[in-house]
Amino acid sequence: MAKPQLRKSLRKTKYNSASSDRLKLKNSTNKGLLAKQSFVIRLLLVWGILVMSALGLAGRLYYLQIVNPTIVYKQAPKGKTLRQIAHDQQSRRLRFYMPRRQIIDRQGNVLAVDRITYELYAHPYLFKRNLDTVPPQEVAEQLAAILEDKTSAELLQQFSKRDRGIRIAKNLPESAKEKIAKLRIDGLDLTQNYSRFYPYEETSAEVVGYVNRDRKPRPQAGVEFSQQKLLERPELSWLMKRSFMLFQGKNRSVFYPGELKNVKKMLKFDDLSLQLTIDLRLQQAARTALKEQMEQYKAKRGAVIVMDVRDGSIAALVNEPTYNPNFYEQYNLELFKNWAITDLYEPGSTFKPINVAIALDAGVIKPTDVFEDTGKIKVDGWEIRNHDYTTKGAHGTLTLAEILQRSSNVSMIKIINRMDRRDYYRRLQQLGLQEKLEFDLPGYAPGHLKNEIEFSVKSIEAATASFGQGFSLTPLKLIQLHSAIANGGKLVTPHVVKGLADFEGYLHWQPSFESKQIFSPQTTNSVLEMMETVVEDGSGKASKVSGYRIAGKTGTAQKVSGGSSGYDETAKITSFVGIFPVESPRYAILAVVDEPHGEHTYGSTVAAPIVGSVIESLIAIEGIAPFNVESRE
């Protein structure tokens, strides 16, 4: 009886036959059988509990992993699922720093470059070195030795104000950062920033402009502003998987580059920089010459533009006073606009060669014509005099060249009087005086002409326009017109951007510019020869460089007084425009000095010497040989 019973129970408990045989032999009595039964039940119970708890854990695991509820955990961000938390930990959006393109000059000198700067924050409550507290005095002394613009006393005073988060300095260079890091003092915090650096400071500020140092840097002036599209490289960022790894005692992020496509995109940056047509040496030479004259005549402001007449590229564009773009915040906003481009002025006598060219092109005068200069003339009831009428009176009979040499207003009126006023007006318009010029630098102001009806009805309007008054234009427009005289009548587009160049200087992109014929080459040749006599024998002698053929024209214009329509008797604007070398014109140079003070303030005395020294520099920089090389040998 016992045997089958035991077997039955054993079969129930899934014991194998071998153990059941052993049991059978050991437990042959009823008592033994009962004990065995309870043992089996206990075993089952333990097994059951273990299995149940394992199943429970598995269920919980399934819930946490698959169902993924919001976890209740102190440190976990609120409302985030485990999946989200894990994702946040294991991945990071990396922003790859794509530096703004460099700006280089004609020769490859770097005018603007991105660099890392550091901001220094101090937390005095943390001042420690190797767990030993460092007294603030010591920190202040050591910092003062590194930061040149602060004394230890000043720093100590700053430390006493607050115990944390004091900004000590900004725009620290890499070198200062390394020195501070070497101090190994806790509580000195350096944060990294990128900022634009202009190594040549104010030398090319009016062309290059500046980028401000806000949290999100924005270009504010010059090429930086107008060529934003060429300068800015798109920011690259993508979500990267990461883990952490102990490296040199620090827990560092290790990134999984992932798809090759992304990596390729990241590494495919170019080394192109924006090349300008500016020549830094010429820029500096022009500034020095301009500054000298401005100081001598205590002038309000001045500008020099040097333009290559063949294509309109600008080799130098100088405004004085100017600013240092590295410390732009210290300057008046007025300085950030480039007044040679944005401000209109009445060109005065520098416009006379243009008028002569218009008259020659219209066929109303011939280069051999002569005019009787009476010294003064009455137009519409207004008496107009030559500038030197009080000292020299009437000049008598003058050739066209002599009219320019002596800058005779009366003769100019006589020339223009030969033309139909409406025709003259239209020809002025054709010069593009009132048109918007697409210039590389921001803020170009179109010139201003009187309206056509007023101009054609009143003869005084045409008369004043004949010697460059009664209308206004920017210095840039004036030099563009003079370039047309120099290059055979083509109106070229002024520009400062040469293109995108690689590190070897090869251009990968170039802007294209249009030009338009406005005078005939015969006309411009004869006007150029007339202008040459101005430098040789006339008012432009101050710009003469021996051995070279230079053409030029002076200008001394009265300034329109602030409110009313009259002219200011004391304020004038002196200018000189030079073309060089005459035998094969390359450069047109314009110098404008606004409101010079003192005696003898004319274009011939204030502005012409500037052009003269710019030409000297051009000769040295470009290696331009004198006209008659043989005679010098």
Partner 1 sequence: MSALPKPSTYTYPTPSKHYPSKQKSLRHKTKQSHSEKRANEHSSPISQFPPVPPLPAKLKALLLLQKSSLGLAFVLIASSIAVYISTVRIPELWSQKYQDLETLQRQERELVATNESLKHKLAQQAQQEDSNLVLINSNNTLFITPASLSSSNSNHSQPKLKQSNLNKIPMGY
Q: Are 202 and 323 in contact (CB under 8 A)?
A: yes
Strand order across the 314-320 sheet = 314-320, 301-308, 587-594, 567-580, 551-560
106 touches partner 1 (CB under 8 A): no
252 touches partner 1 (CB under 8 A): yes
616 touches partner 1 (CB under 8 A): yes
536 touches partner 1 (CB under 8 A): no
381-401 residues labelled b (16+ CB within 10 A) or e (exposed): eeebebbebeeeeebeebbbb
Q: Are 382 and 413 in contact (CB under 8 A)?
A: no
C-alpha of 604 from chain center: 35
From 204, 349, 472, 526, active-site residue: 349
Residue 409: count of CB within 10 angstroms of its CB: 28
Query: Among 354, 357, 545, 593, which residue sits at the site for partner 1 (rule: CB under 8 A)?
Result: 545
> From residue 369 to residue 408, what is the string marking binding to partner 1 with x (rule CB under 8 A)?
----------------------------------------
> 173 to 202, contacts with partner 1 by CB under 8 A?
173-174, 197, 199-201
Query: Among 187, 325, 540, 581, which residue sits at the site for partner 1 (rule: CB under 8 A)?
Result: 581
621 touches partner 1 (CB under 8 A): yes
Distance in Å, CB of 326 to partner 1, minimum? 10
For 486-581, strand residue ranges (E) read 490-491, 497-501, 507-509, 516-517, 551-560, 567-580
Task: DSSP letter for 16, please.
Answer: -
Query: Among 142, 203, 277, 574, which residue sits at the site for partner 1 (rule: CB under 8 A)?
Result: 203
Residue 76: count of CB within 10 angstroms of its CB: 14
Distance in Å, CB of 133 to partner 1, minimum? 33
236 touches partner 1 (CB under 8 A): no
Q: CA 344 to CA 599: how far, in whole Å?
A: 25
Residue closer to partner 1 by CB (options 114, 369) is 114
DSSP H stretches of helix in 448-520? 452-457, 459-466, 475-486
97 touches partner 1 (CB under 8 A): yes
630 touches partner 1 (CB under 8 A): yes
C-alpha of 603 from chain center: 33
Q: CA 550 to CA 411: how far, in whole Å?
A: 24
Q: Are 187 and 127 in contact (CB under 8 A)?
A: yes
For residue 483, which amino acid is it?
A: S
349 is catalytic: yes
Distances (CA, A) of 490 to 70, 148, 376: 75, 55, 35
Binding residues with partner 1: total (CB under 8 A):
52
Query: Among 27, 76, 85, 114, which residue sits at the site for partner 1 (rule: CB under 8 A)?
Result: 114
Q: Kindly indicate which of the ranges 128-136, 250-258, 346-354, 361-369 contains the residues binding partner 1, using the contact rule CB under 8 A.
A: 250-258
Identify the three-state secondary structure at position 187: coil
Q: Kindly indicate which of the ranges 64-72, 101-109, 138-146, 161-169 contains the residues binding partner 1, using the contact rule CB under 8 A.
A: 101-109
115 touches partner 1 (CB under 8 A): yes
Distance in Å, CB of 259 to partner 1, minimum? 12
514 touches partner 1 (CB under 8 A): no
Query: Among 50, 583, 597, 598, which residue sits at the site for partner 1 (rule: CB under 8 A)?
Result: 583
Residue closer to partner 1 by CB (options 97, 327) is 97
Identify the three-state secondary structure at position 214: coil
Residue closer to partner 1 by CB (options 138, 616) is 616
For tokens 């030795």, what's the residue? 145
Distance in Å, CB of 87 to partner 1, minimum? 17
CA dihedral 257, 261, 263, 264 (to 10 degrees): 160
Q: CA 591 to CA 607: how far, in whole Å?
A: 6
* Token couple for 186: 């806790």
Query: Among 99, 367, 443, 446, which residue sits at the site for partner 1 (rule: CB under 8 A)?
Result: 99
Q: Kindly indicate which of the ranges 72-80, 371-379, 452-460, 543-551 contains the residues binding partner 1, using the contact rule CB under 8 A.
A: 543-551
113 touches partner 1 (CB under 8 A): yes
Q: Are 150 and 169 in contact (CB under 8 A)?
A: yes
234 touches partner 1 (CB under 8 A): no
> 276 to 305, contacts with partner 1 by CB under 8 A?
280-281, 284, 288
**Which residues are at the interface with partner 1 (CB under 8 A)?**
97, 99, 102, 107, 109-110, 113-116, 173-174, 197, 199-201, 203, 242-243, 245, 252-257, 280-281, 284, 288, 545-548, 581, 583-584, 586, 616, 619-627, 629-630, 632-633
Residues labelled as active-site residues: 349
